[in-house]
Chains A and B, each alone.
Chain A
Amino acid sequence: MPKMTIDGVEIEVPAGITVLQACELAGREIPRFCYHERLSIAGNCRMCLVEQEKAPKPIASCAMPVAEGMVIKTDTPVVQKARKGVMEFLLINHPLDCPICDQGGECDLQDQAMGYGFDKSRYHENKRAVPDKNLGPLIKTSMNRCIHCTRCIRFATEVAGVEELGATGRGEHMEVTNYVSRALTSEMSGNMIDLCPVGALTSKPYEFAARPWELRKTESIDVLDAVGSNIRIDARGAEVMRVLPRLHEEINEEWISDKTRFACDGLKRQRLDRPYIRRNGKLEPATWGDALTAVAWKLRGASADRVAALSGDLADVEAQYALKELLAGMGVRNIDCRQDGAKLDPSNRAGYLFNSTIAGIDQADVILLVGTDPRHEAPIVNSRIRRRWLTGALTVASIGPLANPTYGVTALGMSPAMLQNLGGFADKLKNAKNPMIIVGMGALTREDGAAVLAQARQVAEACNVVREGWNGFNVLHTAGGRVGGLDVGFVPGEGGRDRDGILAAAQAGEMDVIYLLGADEIDMAKLGKAFVVYQGHHGDAGAHRADVVLPGAAYTEKDAIYVNTEGRVQLARRAVQPPGEAREDWAIVRALSEVINNKLPFDTLAQLRAGLVAANPVFAGIDRIKSAAWGSFGAQGAVADRPFATTVRNFYMTDPISRASPTMARCTAEILGGQTLAAAE
């Protein structure tokens, strides 16, 4: 632990850190543009100059390692003058277009120019003009503003794992570009917008939409995948303007995926803003009273074993709990939250959680992927795996299809038979310090999914993947609401039917009423002649099939609990009101219970949550992970020799919100369409 003196204060700092980090530890703020904690050090903006005793000139603190006895001064006339000089050079070619720049108000250059800028320019030549680049439908470029910090290049290369950005030319002719004028193929590219310290890279969908000081900021969580990334929802009036990442070291650090960030414009389209009832084959607007009465009438008239409910990928915990309680009170046992047909075993929590935790990837040394494609199912998890892999301490192998992973993967095969035939890889798992098995929905959403799950468990047990202090068995979910559904027990009761059973019965005409709680990704044709109630927020497949539509709230419009794939209970918070007559989902179920004369025992969200915690104490620990006890799960059975399938075919459109989003549609066309074009060339 070297001892050094910073601005006259002696401080002991960890060896191996940089002077800039040491200054931060000492409570000194150092201005910077190119330096970023999560990227490699470039040292090219020179803004972080500090004075070091006995050094002939100011040093770039971001690139200087600390040493014993260093004496650093961060606020001397020399430092001030040096930084002012750097700032003057940076501003030579930077346009004076702050009033029309989207970065205005949240711009590092603008802020630091307040501290170190001159009030006038001494440069009277023409400024440099740089052609703007095409980086795809998400990132708008204004390359005149670029100060060549290279953060975007380093992010693309290191974190996103797509080497598509670079600096061409040299000296005054240096340009940050992808050279080929094609959309970036990263699922994480939006983070470059946050990283850009100036307005060179800004959000294309958010172009000229709002100023940061006009926005109402709500700290919430994302539910469009099962990672539960922490986000900040920026809203103005009734409109969600944008979604930004929020720091959570154990989940998303400070990144979010492009779907999380850009799908929010889908919240404005295809919305269900009033109840509908189907009359003469057409959905017609109705009042809440009529709609609820129609549902209650049908529910009361049907026998319990001819009623079923399915909850969808975005369903929150409260709504699933309320609906489960309501239906249980009526004796209905045919309920399932696994609308994708995943053969997850609700009896043992360890059997459906990402037990190692996402942060646990940082310790893993061997990972076996089983029927999962993390890059498209959970880009945040994928970038963790990549970071670990870059250290050289991680080996990754996969059973099942993988599309362009961002790390080296040994392909072991495609079909589940490989699980029993791991060969040398079994030894690798056994000998690893922190081995991980990640089972994806590609392995479980098959008819023999339960048997595959059991086999994966057996591999985990045989290879000692679950040991004292380390549980390396992981399920990577694709749906934000799934773990919550399993935790509240939104699964078939004793003798009840699961999704396959419900659909088969409906097709055979043995179902009278089917209640879809935001379930859109099922084959609606299989619902047969059943009376379908759809409660959700988007006019997607479910609403089109429905006989009664009950308009609910999207994740930005309600205070709700979601549980991520790790089993972490998190709170989504209301940023805006649901549109029109739409209501929070638990309240709809509560209102329905009253019409049915089977009133649920809670009037407020707090009372509901108290009941929830009583039913499953897991929900009491917000943002805490309760490790699940190991046990038996899955079911013995024959496993078909059929290769695992890809579950997320189009990363940009996986749920009703992203399917309604024009931005996601553009991504599908330009990025995925562009990829097929490139492959066809």
Chain B
Amino acid sequence: MAMVTADPQDVPKVASFAFSAANLEKAKALMAQYPAGRQASAVIALLYIAQEQAGGWLPRVAMDHVAQVLEMAPIRVYEVASFYTMFNLKPVGKHHLQVCTTTPCWLRGSDAVLKACQDAAHCDVGEVSADGLFSIVEVECLGACVNAPMLQINNSEFYEDLDANSTRALIESLRRGEKPSMGTQVSRQTSAPIGGPTTLKSQPAKG
């Protein structure tokens, strides 16, 4: 796990940050979900928006801006952002590969998936590739164990039922700028059995 430390010196300096008009609108809507004076409760959601806008990571100015919008002390925002591992305090690649290596995925071959990521993306865990396209982290369970092994890219894209080859193909297609289809990478419907249903094939008998 990447060490979270105070204001890492190797982080590029970002001069300023402010929500775009659309994102500010989103932020206001989120804040309105909480009673007046309790708008700080929206901090995680706002940090998420800020992270997306800032390119997948949170420079300090972005956290300061969130603090300002929510009228809370900046340190309280830093605390939240550094507590949750899905907030990145250092720059990440355009495609941030989050490989699950928790037990179910590991039993199903996440070592091979991780190795394939490193080979195809040309970077190591915790690093950003030289072309800036990819970065890799190991993460804990993302809740898609039925389709293990899996990896998540950026905020919401799950790719499941991976092996070394399909992972490599996935990364190559991302490199070409394509949009690979999300979800399982083998032939099955969501998490239904591979090759079609194995039970409940017929209508139950009536009566």
* Complex partner residue of A133 from B1, B3, B6, B73, CB under 8 angstroms: B6
Within 8 A of A (CB), among B1-51: 1, 3-7
> Known contacts A133-B6, A173-B4; is A168 also within 8 Å of B82 by CB?
yes
> Known contacts A169-B83, A179-B78; is A164 also within 8 Å of B7 by CB?
no
The docked-state distance in angstroms from the alpha carbon of A163 to that of B79 is 12
Contacts of A175 in B (CB 8 A): 4-6
Residue B175 interfacial (CB < 8 Å): no
Q: Which residue of A lies closest to B78 (CB)?
A: A179
Do B6 and A166 touch (CB < 8 A)? no
Residue B188 interfacial (CB < 8 Å): no
The docked-state distance in angstroms from the alpha carbon of A167 to that of B83 is 9
Do A179 and B83 touch (CB < 8 A)? no
Residue B75 interfacial (CB < 8 Å): yes
> Known contacts A168-B82, A169-B82, A169-B83; is A163 also within 8 Å of B4 by CB?
no
Contacts of A169 in B (CB 8 A): 4-5, 82-83
The docked-state distance in angstroms from the alpha carbon of A177 to that of B83 is 13
Do B78 and A181 touch (CB < 8 A)? no
Q: Which residue of B lies closest to A169 (CB)?
A: B4
CB distance from A175 to the nearest CB of B (A): 7
Residue A627 interfacial (CB < 8 Å): no
Contact with A along B62-93 (1 / 0, CB 8 A): 00000000000111101100110000000000
Contacts of B73 in A (CB 8 A): 163-164
Contacts of B60 in A (CB 8 A): 179-180
Contacts of A166 in B (CB 8 A): 75-76, 78-79
Residue A112 interfacial (CB < 8 Å): no
Contacts of A131 in B (CB 8 A): 5-6
The docked-state distance in angstroms from the alpha carbon of A168 to that of B87 is 13
Contacts of B4 in A (CB 8 A): 168-170, 173, 175
Chain A binding surface SS class? loop
The docked-state distance in angstroms from the alpha carbon of A35 to that of B2 is 32
> Known contacts A164-B75, A166-B75; is A180 also within 8 Å of B1 by CB?
no
Contact with B along A192-214 (1 / 0, CB 8 A): 00000000000000000000000
Q: How many residues of B contact A (CB 8 A)?
A: 15
Q: Which residue of A lies closest to B75 (CB)?
A: A166
CB distance from B36 to the nearest CB of A (A): 15
Residue A347 interfacial (CB < 8 Å): no
The docked-state distance in angstroms from the alpha carbon of A519 to that of B6 is 46
Residue A178 interfacial (CB < 8 Å): yes
CB distance from A142 to the nearest CB of B (A): 15
**Most chain A CB neighbours (cut-off 10 Å) among B60, B73, B82:** B82
> Known contacts A164-B73, A168-B82; is A173 also within 8 Å of B3 by CB?
yes
The docked-state distance in angstroms from the alpha carbon of A175 to that of B3 is 11
Do B3 and A179 touch (CB < 8 A)? no
The docked-state distance in angstroms from the alpha carbon of A168 to that of B89 is 12
Q: How many residues of A contact B (CB 8 A)?
A: 17
The docked-state distance in angstroms from the alpha carbon of A164 to that of B72 is 11
The docked-state distance in angstroms from the alpha carbon of A164 to that of B60 is 15
Do B75 and A179 touch (CB < 8 A)? yes
The docked-state distance in angstroms from the alpha carbon of A165 to that of B4 is 16
Contacts of A167 in B (CB 8 A): 79
CB distance from A488 to the nearest CB of B (A): 47
Contacts of B3 in A (CB 8 A): 173
Q: Which residue of B lies closest to A177 (CB)?
A: B6
Do A180 and B7 touch (CB < 8 A)? yes
CB distance from B16 to the nearest CB of A (A): 10
Contacts of A181 in B (CB 8 A): 6-7
Q: Which residue of A lies closest to B79 (CB)?
A: A166
The docked-state distance in angstroms from the alpha carbon of A178 to that of B5 is 11
The docked-state distance in angstroms from the alpha carbon of A131 to that of B7 is 11
Q: Which residue of B lies closest to A172 (CB)?
A: B1
Contact with B along A640-680 (1 / 0, CB 8 A): 00000000000000000000000000000000000000000
Do B76 and A179 touch (CB < 8 A)? no
The docked-state distance in angstroms from the alpha carbon of A175 to that of B6 is 8
Contacts of A178 in B (CB 8 A): 6, 75
Contacts of A177 in B (CB 8 A): 6
The docked-state distance in angstroms from the alpha carbon of A167 to that of B75 is 8
Q: Which residue of B lies closest to A164 (CB)?
A: B75
The docked-state distance in angstroms from the alpha carbon of A181 to that of B7 is 8
Contacts of A170 in B (CB 8 A): 4, 82-83
The docked-state distance in angstroms from the alpha carbon of A365 to that of B111 is 65
Do B6 and A179 touch (CB < 8 A)? yes
Contacts of B74 in A (CB 8 A): 179-180
The docked-state distance in angstroms from the alpha carbon of A133 to that of B5 is 10
The docked-state distance in angstroms from the alpha carbon of A167 to that of B5 is 11
CB distance from A159 to the nearest CB of B (A): 15
CB distance from B80 to the nearest CB of A (A): 9
Q: Which residue of A lies closest to B1 (CB)?
A: A173
Q: Which residue of B lies closest to A130 (CB)?
A: B5
The docked-state distance in angstroms from the alpha carbon of A441 to that of B61 is 40
CB distance from A243 to the nearest CB of B (A): 29
CB distance from A182 to the nearest CB of B (A): 10
Contact with B along A146-186 (1 / 0, CB 8 A): 00000000000000000111111110010101111100000
Contacts of B82 in A (CB 8 A): 168-170
* Complex partner residue of B83 from A133, A165, A168, A180, CB under 8 angstroms: A168
Within 8 A of A (CB), among B130-179: none
CB distance from A422 to the nearest CB of B (A): 28
Q: Which residue of B lies closest to A134 (CB)?
A: B6
CB distance from B69 to the nearest CB of A (A): 16
CB distance from A136 to the nearest CB of B (A): 14
Contacts of A165 in B (CB 8 A): 75
CB distance from A201 to the nearest CB of B (A): 15
Contacts of A163 in B (CB 8 A): 73, 75-76
Do A168 and B1 touch (CB < 8 A)? no
Do A168 and B76 touch (CB < 8 A)? no
Contacts of B76 in A (CB 8 A): 163, 166
Contact with B along A399-429 (1 / 0, CB 8 A): 0000000000000000000000000000000
CB distance from B70 to the nearest CB of A (A): 13
Within 8 A of A (CB), among B164-199: none
Q: Which residue of A lies closest to B81 (CB)?
A: A168
**Most chain A CB neighbours (cut-off 10 Å) among B75, B82, B83:** B75
The docked-state distance in angstroms from the alpha carbon of A181 to that of B5 is 11
The docked-state distance in angstroms from the alpha carbon of A131 to that of B3 is 11
Contact with B along A79-109 (1 / 0, CB 8 A): 0000000000000000000000000000000
The docked-state distance in angstroms from the alpha carbon of A179 to that of B67 is 14
**Most chain B CB neighbours (cut-off 10 Å) among A168, A178, A180:** A168
8 sampled A-B residue pairs with Cβ under 8 A: A164-B73, A168-B78, A168-B83, A173-B1, A173-B3, A177-B6, A178-B75, A180-B74
Top-6 shortest CB links A-B? A163-B73, A169-B4, A168-B82, A166-B75, A177-B6, A166-B79
* Beyond A131-B6, A164-B75, A166-B79, 17 extra complex contacts between A and B, CB < 8 Å: A163-B73, A164-B73, A166-B78, A168-B4, A168-B6, A168-B82, A170-B4, A173-B3, A173-B4, A175-B6, A179-B74, A179-B78, A180-B6, A180-B7, A180-B60, A180-B74, A181-B7
